[in-house]
Structure 1
Amino acid sequence: MTYCVGLFLDRGLVFMSDTRTNAGVDNISTFRKMFTWEKPGDRFICLMNSGNLATTQAVVSLLEERTKPHNDRAPTLFAAPSMFQVARLVADTLKEVISNHAQTGQRADSTFNATLILGGQVAGGPPRLFLIYPEGNFVEAGEDTPFFQIGETKYGRPILVRSFDPAMSFEAAVKLLLVSFDSTVKANLSVGLPFDLQVYESDSLRAGSSTRIEANDPYYQAISDGWGEALKSAFDSLPDFTFDSDPD
């Protein structure tokens, strides 16, 4: 399983993904699920994936291969004129890979499916964030839907829904994501550390801060322990339930 989140802030975009893949409790591996491309001054693109590992790796490999100088296919990630066209290109590549892998053509409910979060900015346009489905269609983040999740979403979603504010700083956004990811890790063994983090500041047209957060990271440990203690304190502060008295 996977957990990836893309946040659309007033200041820019923040991406975080876990790295755990598994085919059973005795077959757990670590694979990167976040990939970036940049042409400083022209564009920055970030892609995160959830689903069949062979499918997602093939999509990334094709996108990467087609950015090379000998590529005779157009457009490419570096040639698409807008983030919308980048999203179309990525969606078409996903459909192509699923169709090639599936025995009877492209089937979104097959074992070869995958879901993607794509975000970034191309010079001349605003930052944009997309959720791309296995069928190749996609939706865009906006005021009503300012973030996207893929993979094991249910445990970390309440944290985001209650606390996300598009005006928050990058620092606050990372703290929020770590709380969301920690809640997911505590509830589901198929999501695990390390986490990959990427920040993009609007109109910079280059990759911002990026890091890998390991299980022994002091800040992550402080967030994990502090969140647990805060929840316990909040629970204890709530009034106890009162049963009706038994009739005489």
Structure 2
Amino acid sequence: MTAQTKRVPASLGREEYVEVEKNVKLHVSDLGEGTPVVLIHGWPLSDAMYEYQYQYLIQEGYRVIGITLRGFGKSDKPYGKYDYDVYADDIKVVLDKLNIQNATLGGFSMGGAISIHYTAKYGAAHINKLVLFGAAAPIWSKKEDVDELIAQSRINRPQLLENFGKIFAATETAISPALGAWLGAINLEASPYATTQSLIALRDGDLRTDLGKIKIPTAIFHGTKDKICPFNLAEEMHAGIKGSYIVKFENSGHGLFVEELQKFNSELLSFLKK
């Protein structure tokens, strides 16, 4: 299998489509030059969510690689399994094919849970640091609450996404209407099937045994007002990952990467430089 790639000059960045299994290609944004930072998006976003991290980190001299998971954004949307194992396996193939070494892996929400599982399953292959942004881990929520989301995903996905958007930030006005519309448009690019199947993965995922397998430096970024992944999850991850530390975002809900954009980027840069 070979990566099918559409390239622009290296100084500007590259868009790639990497085949992770027969007839399944993932969209990868590969931008800048320098020490690599690999970013995994949350449900039901795509790597486009990191637009304002890409621009910042490129300016700071980093190579940023955003992987859009199968079923989302510009990646292929096959029928089949959508769970943490499949997602972790896909990330491994992409990093193998791009020959990434000594990267920092960052994941938001479901992407944070997947990043934990990848690190534990593959013994931190290709990476030497981990950073978790509002991660949906080690166990996301009460199963009955997620069951309601799954049911709504099957009959009224636009309403599900609208409801989700209302509790995404610390307050309904914490994210501007323009940014909210931008995020909503990204959400609607997701496959309806993948949207539902990923909710099932979130409901059933239990990463408590994975936490103790993480042996690399780990930072945990979390909004103290998060209504989707409550702050106690950050404390559980911190307790389970030896040597980890928490960065509190006191004015953020779940959307810390845009709610406190400047702090988010500066704290990420500080972690990268440690």
Q: Max radius of gyration: which structure?
A: 1
Q: Is TM-score (shorter-chain normalized) higher than 0.5?
A: no
Q: Select the structure that is richer in strand.
A: 1
Q: TM-score, normalised by structure 1?
A: 0.29
Higher RCO by CA contacts (8 Å cutoff, separation 6 or greater): 1
